[in-house]
Amino acid sequence: MEPVLYTLQGRRATITLNRGDKRNALDAALTLAIAQAITQAETDGAKVVVLQGAGPAFCAGADLAHMQRLTSFTPEENLADSRALKDMLLAIWQSPCVVVAKVHGPAIAGGCGLASVCDVVLASDQAVFGYPETRIGFLPAIVAVFGVQKFGTGRIGPYLLAGKPFGAAEALALGLVTKVVAADALDEATDAYCADLERGTSAQSLAATKRLVRMAEGSLNEKLELACRMNMETRQTVDFRRGIAAVLAKEKIDWEVKI
């Protein structure tokens, strides 16, 4: 099964995360496939890209089997894996296409980060967001860099620290979500939004405006490289191994208990 499905209709590309049975959890193949699909959309002259998930979830974050493998990776292998995630998110962030996330269900951890790097997020009122990394002994390193760039430390910081899920209305107030609609209206709302951009805006103007919005953000690449290294270091810790083992065993972690 292909990790993503890619279609092009007119000036609109649609990228569907195609691991619905795994809640579209990110592994190496899916991460690479998303980046390649974004590049394909640019090559095809797409003006708008819709990013969506098959099955009940938009994206449930990192694949647990992949996360378990990371505990045995060398520092160099973990750094390469982190950089692959960074490259995928950066491809969306820097794409000249307007990338619209269509979030119908859970967008958790890396899935929440995936939504946050999109230019527009249209969400069902049933969608759930969250950055749970601190609750499993990890950290939202790369996602945090983009989150701070987009929302500011004061707004995104409490969500990154607490690690608790939050609904679409709260995501709208945070600025993560552009618009919330009823679940049965999400397809129509997404189509209407994209059709308006396709018909009513210049592709060159959209790309230039997106560059303009990103210009004042400082040294993003340096921050992302630091985040990759922090990811690598955290994956060597006892807490990370403990957290991944507990998640796989479906056990609750009592972080007050030291081991």
Distance between CA 32 and CA 39 in Å, rounded? Answer: 11
Asked if the structure places residue 115 within a domain, the reply is yes
Asked if the structure places residue 217 within a domain, the reply is no
Asked if the structure places residue 158 within a domain, the reply is yes
Structural domain that includes position 178: 4-200
Q: What is the pLDDT of residue 216?
A: 59
Structural domain count of the chain: 1
Q: What is the pLDDT of residue 152?
A: 86
Residue located via tokens 């995501």: 171
Kindly report, residue by residue over 27-83, the tens digit of the pLDDT.
999 999 999 999 999 999 999 999 999 999 999 999 989 988 988 999 999 999 999
Q: What is the pLDDT of residue 186?
A: 98
Cβ pair 237, 137 in contact under 8 A: yes
Q: Helix (H, G, I), strand (E, B), or coil: what is residue 6? A: strand
Q: What is the pLDDT of residue 208?
A: 87
Task: Please report, for the domain that includes residue 139, its CATH number.
Answer: 3.90.226.10
Q: Is 2 a catalytic residue?
A: no
Asked if the structure places residue 224 within a domain, the reply is no
Q: What is the pLDDT of residue 223?
A: 85
Bridge-based pairing state of the strands 107-108 and 128-130 = parallel
Considering the candidates 2, 133, 222, 225, report the single residue annotated as catalytic. 133
Cβ pair 124, 183 in contact under 8 A: yes
* Residue spans of the chain under pLDDT 70: 215-218
Asked if the structure places residue 128 within a domain, the reply is yes
Is pTM, for the whole model, over 0.85? yes
Asked if the structure places residue 252 within a domain, the reply is no
